[in-house]
Amino acid sequence: MNAKELAEKMLAYGDAQELANALKAEIEAAVLDLEKTQTVGNVKAAFRNGRKSYDYKTAIISASDIHQDYFDENTKIIKKVDYRAMCKAVRIAQEDIPCTVGKPSVAVSLV
């Protein structure tokens, strides 16, 4: 392969990659709207809901009467505190624990 043929192949690869990236973006947007994994032929677009992340520390601190039983404002905590276990021990309901939900995502791959 001479330099001219190589340059043509590289330019063709760049054009094909741009087209593939545009198709991938369109597929991702469509699957996000459908909110369901899609498989056609050997192409799979996997939909993932956003993950929940619970803030157990805020739940314990906001329950001020419980908070005082476990902490003293003048005490420095040296050990790692398991706020999730504390929430469970004092029976804070799951729906009373603040949480954030991540953004849904789509991963397009060949299978």
Query: What is the band of 60 on the pLDDT scale with cuts at 50, 70, 90?
Result: confident
Which residues are CB-contacts of 90 (< 8 A; sequence separation ≥ 6)? 60, 63, 66
Which of the residue ranges 8-12, 27-31, 77-81, 104-108 would you say has the lowest mean pLDDT? 77-81
30-40: string of b/e by CB count within 10 Å (b at 16+)?
ebeeeeeeeee
For residue range 38-51, what is the model confidence (pLDDT) as tens digits? 999 999 999 999 99
Q: Residue range 59-79: average pLDDT?
A: 61
- In this prediction the pTM is 0.61
Is the Cβ–Cβ distance between 108 and 45 less than 8 Å? yes
